[in-house]
Amino acid sequence: MKNQRLKASYTVENSFIMPLFIIIIVLLLYVCFYIHDAVILKNSALKLAIRAERSEEDWQRAELRQEGIDYIREKTICTKNINVIIENNKGDIKVTCTGYFSSALKWMNQTGLLNQSATVIKSKPEEFIRIINAVEDVIR
């Protein structure tokens, strides 16, 4: 009789502990999904900013924007409603990638909005070559 009571107590304890472990595992998975999607957005913003720095025409930037949206849509896990904005401000290229992180656990991110941006200063190779030539002349 005493042996059966011990077995039953293990069952009761497990009925409280197992749901707790499952909730913790699910929370860790959602955190990993969130970090994964944030990294994909940041990586896309950086790559698009570098590529947009070399493109001069508006239609090239529009194609880059669409490529970025397609790439993000393909690689993210829980992010929806993706938008990419490419801005050209006096030689600086700023790319902002946004998306709505849809999860059942809204308390992780109150708004559900993922927003990553990257800025690249437009390079001027002619000026760089002139500076290098001037430095070489001074050294010789």
Residues 86, 95: contact at Cβ < 8 Å? Answer: yes
- What CA–CA distance (Å, rounded) separates 115 from 23? 27
Q: What is the mean pLDDT of residues 3-20?
A: 72
Write down the number of H helices and E strands in the chain.
3, 3
* Domain limits, the chain: 2-139
| CA-only gyration radius of the chain, Å | 26
**Amino acid 38: pLDDT:** 92
pLDDT digits (tens, 9 = 90+) for 39-92: 999 999 999 988 888 777 878 888 989 999 999 999 998 888 899 998 888 778
